[in-house]
Amino acid sequence: MRWSDGMSSAKRQRYGGGPVCGNRRERGSVSVELALALPSVVLVLGFVLTGASWVRAEVSATQAAAVAARIALTDGDAAAVDAAIRISGGVASVSRDGAWVVVSVIVEGQGPVPDGEATARVPVQP
């Protein structure tokens, strides 16, 4: 096989037998760039996963509070608290404020994730 880059056979053996790209000082630069960039990528991924976990807790608390508020109107406060706990896995409370039923749900966040909290208010039908 004939090499068209004009390198001598000694240089080809020193550089692994193939054509040389760049000079010797550039060897390993990809490894260094990866070593510098990898911690940043891991940190950003951690923030994204933490944010997604917080959003999941908030949505779970919101849905549980809304469903529990509707159940409180028809089946009573105990059934509403039970439903909210089954839906969200958190802590729920039901109170009555005049003509309103108020349901509060707190879903505990895992690790550094803040708790998800939601409150639903529905009017009591006469």
Terminal-to-terminal C-alpha distance of the chain: 94
Question: Where exactly are the structural domains of the chain?
Answer: 25-123
What class, spelled out in words, does domain 25-123 have in CATH? alpha beta
Give the closest residue to 52 by CA, choosing from 109, 90, 105: 109
- Supply the pTM of this predicted model: 0.68
Q: Is 97 helix (H, G, I), strand (E, B) or coil?
A: strand
pLDDT of 11-48, one tens digit each? 655 655 555 555 666 677 788 888 889 999 999 999 99
- How far is 22 from 102, CA to CA, in rounded Å? 70
